Each structure stands twice: as C-alpha cells, then as structure tokens.
C-alpha cells in the first residue's frame, strides 16, 4: 500500500446542491487526511491546464465553461492508495452506472453534472495538485498532529 496524494474537486453542482460536507465526510470516513482545502473560483487558465488532455475534443470547451461557471471546493487528500480509493468513493463517471453508496451513485444526475473530480494516476495527481495549490497551502499529517498536540 502506497501513501498517495490526490486532488479532489467538488464541482459547482455539489456546491449549489449543498452536498460538499457529505462528500468531504466520505473521504474522511475512509481514513484519508485532508491536507489542503479551499473554496475557489477556477480561472480559465487553470481549467484549460487541468483539462489539457482533452484539448481538441468536442467537449473540451464545455468542460472549461462548466468548471469556471461557479466556485468549486478543491482539496488534496492523502492516504494509503488514495488515488484508487477516492475514485472508488466517487463511483463511475456516469451516475446512472455508478454503484449505490458512491458519491455519484447516490447524488449524481448526469455525466456533465457528476459532482466530483479525482485524479486518475500519480502523475495526474502531482500535475493537478500543482494547478490548484501552492506548496505552502498544504500540510502534512505530522504537521497537523504536532500542532494539535502542542496546544
């Protein structure tokens, strides 16, 4: 089991529908640690870099428009096999095919409004975390524990 970091985005539909707390709680209940968390407006530049592998595809513009239309909650999660575990927590991209008990299976409505994003590989996670977070915005598990114990 490798300890990994991954980027999670609770997209605009999660925010508008009041599901962010429930979504975050699911990652925490699985034992993952949140190292960074922020409510933010995604810039077009960030969106284009985030979805760079889809550039030139017919749906690219729609992805960029959607993620920049409303604020998102961005977080960095760490834990054993966090990439695969968070993606399993999210469920299949198409909510109709997502297993009940997953975020998308319980709350998703359409492929275009599927609530969350999670990095799909260690390389993608490293690239995506750097798009949305500066190193100074991330805390380690040890740092958080030391600060808590010092009080």
pLDDT for the residue 143: 67
Q: How far apart are CA 103 and CA 8, in angstroms?
A: 12
Given a contact cutoff of 8 angstroms between Cβ atoms, the answer to whether 84 and 53 are in contact is: no
Q: Would you please indicate which residues are annotated as catalytic (active-site) residues?
A: 117
pLDDT for the residue 140: 78
Q: How far apart are CA 94 and CA 80, in angstroms?
A: 26
Tens place of pLDDT for every residue, the chain, 151 residues? Answer: 789 999 999 999 999 999 999 999 999 999 999 999 999 999 999 999 999 999 999 999 999 999 999 999 999 999 999 999 999 999 999 999 999 999 999 999 998 889 999 999 999 999 999 999 999 999 876 666 676 677 6
Q: How far apart are CA 64 and CA 47, in angstroms?
A: 5
pLDDT for the residue 145: 66
Of the candidates 34, 49, 47, 52, the one whose C-alpha atom is nearest the C-alpha of residue 139 is: 34
3.40.50.720, 3.30.70.141, 3.40.225.10, 3.30.70.1350: CATH of 3-150: 3.30.70.141
Tokens 């975050």 correspond to: 24
Q: How far apart are CA 78 and CA 86, in angstroms?
A: 10
pLDDT for the residue 144: 64
pLDDT for the residue 149: 75
Q: How far apart are CA 135 and CA 115, in angstroms?
A: 26
């Amino acid at each position: 089991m490798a300890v990994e970091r991954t980027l999670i985005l609770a997209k605009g539909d999660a925010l508008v529908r009041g599901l962010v707390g429930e979504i975050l709680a699911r990652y925490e209940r699985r034992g993952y640690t949140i190292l960074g968390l922020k409510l933010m407006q995604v810039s077009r530049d960030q969106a284009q870099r985030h979805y760079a592998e889809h550039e030139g595809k017919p749906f690219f513009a729609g992805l960029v428009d959607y993620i920049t239309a409303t604020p998102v909650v961005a977080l960095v999660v760490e834990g054993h096999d966090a990439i695969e575990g968070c993606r399993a927590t999210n469920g299949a991209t198409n909510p109709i095919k997502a297993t009940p008990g997953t975020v998308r299976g319980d709350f998703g409505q359409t492929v275009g409004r599927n609530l969350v994003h999670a990095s799909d590989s260690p390389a993608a996670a490293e690239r995506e975390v750097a798009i949305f977070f500066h190193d100074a915005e991330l805390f380690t598990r040890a740092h958080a524990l030391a600060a808590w114990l010092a009080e």
